[in-house]
Structure 1
Amino acid sequence: MTELEKGPLGRRRGRGARERILSASQQLFRDQGISRTGMDQLCAVAQVSKRTAYQHFPSKDDLVAEYLRRFDPDVMPGVFDRTDLTPRERLLAAFDLPVSTPLCPYIAAAVELHDPQHPASQYARDYKTTIAARLTETAREAGATDPEQLGEQLALLLDGASARTRVLDRDSFPTAAAIATVLIDNAIPSASPRQPDTASVPSTR
């Protein structure tokens, strides 16, 4: 056992090593991509031996899948779990989150891996499906006439804004929010529909 695998008093760094590996993967995968990050570099940044790394993650594929799984395990709780907002406000809040990583890591992983059977690709699909489902559920709560369509439209808009922000290095979410407002307003009937002109309505008396 090397010194990198031990704690201050020579005790094995169990959980600490796993967290350092995941922390290093978040940094390196974000900054330089998954494919360009080798296990040797990752272990050096995490300060663990390759033996320790493979004890926690049998393969790099397992590490990539766990990296995505931990990125947003509760599926945007800052949007969908807020009880201080109306359903309509929650739909718009999806476009008003801080953009610390402009390109969604799930999109980045799916594009970079080129393997639909990769566990990370499967997790990315599951996450994106869940996002659309949560948007659809919220659209239904808001009274949308076709919540499934609105949910898919907003999910597509989110992904497009994320990718465009990364490519242009310019925040595209304000524009996406303006488009989302139009989509939402068109999909949700007014709570106070315009009353018919009484002058044109024959009297029933």
Structure 2
Amino acid sequence: MSTILNLSEDHRDCLQEITNVAMGQAGDKLARLLDTFVILSIPHIEVMAPSDIAMALQSLDGNDSVSGVCQGFIGGGISGEAMLIFNDTSFSDLAKLMKYDDVLDAQAERELLMDTTNVLFGACLKGIAEQIDMEFSYGSPMVLGQHVRLSDIFQRENNRWDHALVTEINYQLEGYDVNCDLLIVMTDSSMDIVLKKLDYLLE
């Protein structure tokens, strides 16, 4: 975990600004798709172990039922994954916004999850890559769980990495009960390159 601890306040501020721009672009794309106003939180950046993330998500209760999707990305020595965690109360309003008229069964919810994920992940990761002058390759999105506890979502991660740099932002839709957290997780092995990119931008 040595490299990841070298994150200075300047690095954190720079990364927060990069993320803010990228996640704002993603929020704008989602707002246009759903024709509604998207409320964004300020990005929260922290070094965490997988078991810490569930407790740290400020807007979701650990006992809430949630659904989640993740997508890996890699490029130029940086690897990580994006995760989207939805509060399960979001599905009915999300279906209305996406004009989905069929029965809202598990398959339909999965489609809504994937559609929203594709918009947010695509715009956000592209926005980050462009600002640090890199190109990412993406894995296929994968459902982490549907209607499970928050802690169960992160159980799978416990063996994948010890600590990572986690950037969290909360998206809410004005006037609707839609609440989701987007996480960008960058592993310790990526941090040398990330810090060099941030140093270049800070010069």
Do both share a fold (TM > 0.5)?
no
Which structure has more RCO (C-alpha within 8 Å, separation ≥ 6)? 2
Looking at secondary structure, tell me which structure has more strand per residue: 2
TM-score normalised to structure 2 length: 0.30
TM-score scaled by length of structure 1: 0.30
Q: Structure 1 or 2: larger helix share? A: 1
Q: Which has the larger radius of gyration?
A: 1
